[in-house]
């Protein structure tokens, strides 16, 4: 049964939004047009041109890495980063075999599937590492457990969820202790900073190879696009070669390695070039949205997505909330659908998302953890207690920890669009209050 919020008396007096309030949509400024037009006027519309050179230079400088390779998507960047790590560790594979065949990779669990699908593209086996409650990212304690269980593993793929840096100092120390490589997925966190020792550095500079996304919902966008980042020229050159079909130096099309058509076009790069000057402004706007929610929701039994204020500065890409355990109204989820009910003083992600949608605002459930996804249900999942699979026992009460599943169950992403007005945001906050009545 669909709940009709328009006749639910708890919501009386609340007006529908005149125009949709988005989760996180592109924000154009006009400069994008100039560089796209210039590409068209000069006929440099393909995968070579000044816009590409400029965005690579500017992003590398911003993030503080030596080399950036502009690609068609963050997913493409992750694929080539993961393939490169696979080749470094295990050598060049035959053309019909992935570079990670027969090998495990320790992966973030609460993330978008594009972070870790390339492990499967390369025939590797993702082992999902549970999430810590302090930043909602990979738990270093669970990672250490994973190395105890699978000591031969040499590769970690770690993402920064919703623009909040994870516990990278601990994760890097663990990786160093085990001689493991790190691919850092900074797709959502461009502009977020992390204190490594006594040095502040950007996310995107914390992996052996790092990736960012310029997808339309990100903090800045080229309409699409992504980037591979590294300090190693040889590795950047290799990724650039792979991304343009792996051509050898011969006069004809000659191939000694599998190639891809993953390069960014000069048109996309034009759009991105127009966005880069606004990155810090977008971060400021997102920060104000986060703080307005935090203030506006502080009297409710909820908390915002947390970050480590001493060691990190988020880019606040996504504002999220987590409902207190005691304030959760009944809410059950199947694989494809869900059912919730109302209870005085309580609410659920299902109810809040349905309520704000009924008035014209877009939220989203927390990214469903990878270890709960049907496709990855048979992959290993490691928590702070060790093996996270099969933890319940019909004859013993209690079951194991699963922080990611808990955040998915109690959390949700709030409308976080930087064009949302204060009035619109206040109305979203009011709707959430009414859910708890
Ligand atoms: C964490 C994460 N990784 C990877 C990606 C993939 O980036 P793209 O959409 O540019 O391929 C995204 C977003 O789309 C993401 O949020």
* Boundary (domain end) residue, out of 227, 245, 277: 277
All residues at 6 or more sequence positions from 204 whose CB lies less than 8 Å from its CB, including other chains: 63, 65, 184, 186, 189, 190, 210, 211, 212, 229
User: For the chain, what percent of residues have pLDDT higher than 70?
Assistant: 100
Q: 299 falls in which pLDDT band (50, 70, 90)?
A: very high
CATH code at position 114: 3.40.640.10
Return the residue whose CA atom lies nearest to atom 7 of ligand 1: 74
Return the residue whose CA atom lies nearest to atom 12 of ligand 1: 187
- Residues 141-157 have pLDDT tens digits of 999 999 999 999 999 99
User: For the chain, what percent of residues have pLDDT higher than 90?
Assistant: 97
Residue 394 lies in a domain: no
Residue 49 lies in a domain: yes
Give pLDDT, residue 113: 98
Alpha carbon 126 to its chain's center: 17
Distance 382 CA to ligand 1 centre (A): 23
Mutating to test ligand 1, I would choose from 77, 187, 262, 413 the residue with most ligand atoms within 8 A of its C-beta, which is 187
Does the structure show a pLDDT above 90 at 66? yes
Residue 152 lies in a domain: yes
Q: Are 267 and 295 within one domain? A: no
Contact 271, 223 (CB under 8 A): yes
* Buried/exposed 239-250: b ≥16 CB within 10 Å, e otherwise: bbbbbeebeeee
Q: Are 240 and 91 within one domain? A: yes
Does the structure show a pLDDT above 90 at 36? yes
Distance 99 CA to ligand 1 centre (A): 22
Q: Are 272 and 284 within one domain? A: no
Residue 3 lies in a domain: no
- How far apart CA 381 and CA 138 sit, in angstroms, is 12
Give pLDDT, residue 18: 97
Q: Are 286 and 153 within one domain? A: no
Tokens of 320: 């999220």
Say yes or no: CB of residue 24 within 6 Å of ligand 1: no
CATH code at position 425: 3.90.1150.10
- How far apart CA 211 and CA 203 sit, in angstroms, is 9
Q: Are 335 and 199 within one domain? A: no
Q: Judging by DSSP bridges, how do beta strands 67-71 and 104-108 pair with one another? A: unpaired
Burial class (CB in 10 A: 0-12, 13-18, 19+), 433: middle
Distance 215 CA to ligand 1 centre (A): 7
Total-model pTM:
0.97
Residue 362 lies in a domain: yes
Q: Are 249 and 340 within one domain? A: no
Say yes or no: CB of residue 213 within 6 Å of ligand 1: yes
Say yes or no: CB of residue 115 within 6 Å of ligand 1: yes
Say yes or no: CB of residue 161 within 6 Å of ligand 1: no
Q: If you ran DSSP here, which 8-state letter would residue 370 be given? A: G
Distance 298 CA to ligand 1 centre (A): 31
Say yes or no: CB of residue 108 within 6 Å of ligand 1: no
- How far apart CA 434 and CA 11 sit, in angstroms, is 6
Q: Are 195 and 294 within one domain? A: no
| Domain of residue 202, residue span | 31-277
User: Which atom of ligand 1 lies closest to the CA of 114?
Assistant: 4
Distance 44 CA to ligand 1 centre (A): 27
Maximum alpha-carbon separation in the chain: 74
Q: Are 133 and 41 within one domain? A: yes
Q: Give the relative orientation of helices 266-275 and 31-41 as an angle to the nearest 10 degrees.
A: 150
Contact 193, 205 (CB under 8 A): no
User: Which atom of ligand 1 lies closest to the CA of 111?
Assistant: 1
Q: 354 falls in which pLDDT band (50, 70, 90)?
A: very high
Distance 221 CA to ligand 1 centre (A): 12
- How far apart CA 109 and CA 263 sit, in angstroms, is 28
Q: Are 249 and 283 within one domain? A: no
* Boundary (domain end) residue, out of 229, 245, 277: 277
Q: If you ran DSSP here, which 8-state letter would residue 311 be given? A: T
* Boundary (domain end) residue, out of 218, 253, 277: 277
Average confidence score pLDDT of the chain: 97
Residue 184 lies in a domain: yes
Does the structure show a pLDDT above 80 at 2? no
Q: Which residues pair with 328 in a beta bridge?
A: 347
Alpha carbon 205 to its chain's center: 16
Contact 230, 66 (CB under 8 A): yes
The total of structural domains in the chain comes to 2
Residue 223 lies in a domain: yes
Q: Which residues pair with 84 in a beta bridge?
A: none
Distance 128 CA to ligand 1 centre (A): 18
Q: Number of H helices and number of E strands within the chain?
A: 12, 18
Residue 1 lies in a domain: no
Q: Are 167 and 74 within one domain? A: yes
Distances (CA, A) of 389 to 214, 296, 334, 392: 35, 39, 19, 9
Q: Are 185 and 166 within one domain? A: yes
Say yes or no: CB of residue 166 within 6 Å of ligand 1: no
Distance 213 CA to ligand 1 centre (A): 6
Q: Are 16 and 42 within one domain? A: no
In 209-295, DSSP assigns E strands to 209-213, 226-230
Q: 74 falls in which pLDDT band (50, 70, 90)?
A: very high
Tell which residue, 345, 283, 343, 292, has the closest CA to residue 317: 283
Distance 113 CA to ligand 1 centre (A): 8
Given the structure tokens 């190395």, which residue do they identify? 147
Give pLDDT, residue 423: 98
Helix (H) or strand (E) holding 87: helix 74-90
- Residues 257-297 have pLDDT tens digits of 999 999 999 999 999 999 999 999 999 999 999 999 999 99
């Amino acid at each position: 049964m669909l709940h009709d919020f328009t006749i639910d008396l708890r919501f009386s007096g609340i007006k529908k939004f005149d125009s949709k309030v988005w989760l996180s949509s592109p924000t154009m400024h006009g400069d994008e047009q100039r560089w796209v037009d210039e590409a068209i006027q000069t006929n440099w519309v393909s995968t070579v041109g000044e816009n590409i050179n400029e965005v690579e230079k500017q992003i590398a400088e911003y993030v503080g890495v030596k080399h950036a390779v502009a690609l068609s998507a963050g997913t493409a960047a992750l694929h080539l980063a993961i393939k490169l790590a696979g080749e470094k560790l295990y050598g060049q594979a035959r053309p019909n075999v992935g570079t990670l065949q027969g090998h495990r990779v320790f992966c973030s669990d609460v993330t978008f599937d594009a972070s870790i699908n390339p492990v499967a593209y390369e025939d590797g086996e993702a082992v999902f590492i549970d999430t810590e409650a302090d930043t909602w990212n990979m738990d270093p304690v669970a990672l250490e457990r994973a190395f105890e269980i699978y000591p031969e593993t040499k590769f970690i793929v770690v993402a920064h969820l919703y623009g909040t840096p994870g516990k990278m100092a601990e994760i890097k120390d663990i990786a160093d202790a085990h001689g493991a490589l790190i691919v850092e997925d900074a797709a959502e966190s461009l502009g977020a900073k992390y204190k490594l020792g006594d040095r502040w550095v950007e996310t995107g500079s914390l992996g052996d190879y790092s990736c960012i996304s310029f997808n339309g919902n990100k903090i800045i966008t080229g309409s699409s696009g992504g980037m591979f980042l590294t300090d190693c020229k040889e590795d950047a050159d290799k990724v650039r070669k792979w991304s343009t079909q792996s051509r050898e130096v011969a006069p004809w099309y000659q191939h000694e390695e599998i190639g891809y058509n993953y390069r960014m076009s000069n048109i996309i790069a034009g759009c991105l070039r127009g966005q880069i000057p606004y990155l810090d402004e977008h971060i400021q706007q997102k920060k104000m949205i986060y703080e307005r929610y935090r203030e506006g929701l502080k009297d409710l039994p909820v908390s915002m997505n947390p970050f480590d204020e001493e060691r990190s500065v988020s880019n606040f890409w996504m504002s999220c909330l987590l409902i207190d355990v005691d304030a959760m109204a009944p809410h059950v989820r199947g694989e494809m659908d869900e059912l919730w009910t109302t209870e005085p003083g309580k609410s659920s992600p299902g109810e809040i998302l349905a309520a704000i949608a009924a008035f014209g605002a877009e939220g989203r459930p927390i990214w469903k953890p990878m270890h709960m996804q049907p496709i990855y249900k048979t992959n290993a999942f490691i928590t702070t207690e060790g093996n996270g699979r099969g933890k319940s026992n019909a004859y013993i009460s209690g079951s194991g920890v699963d922080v990611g599943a808990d955040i998915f169950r109690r959390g949700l992403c709030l409308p976080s669009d930087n064009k949302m007005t204060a009035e619109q945001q206040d109305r979203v906050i009011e709707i959430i209050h009414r859910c708890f009545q």
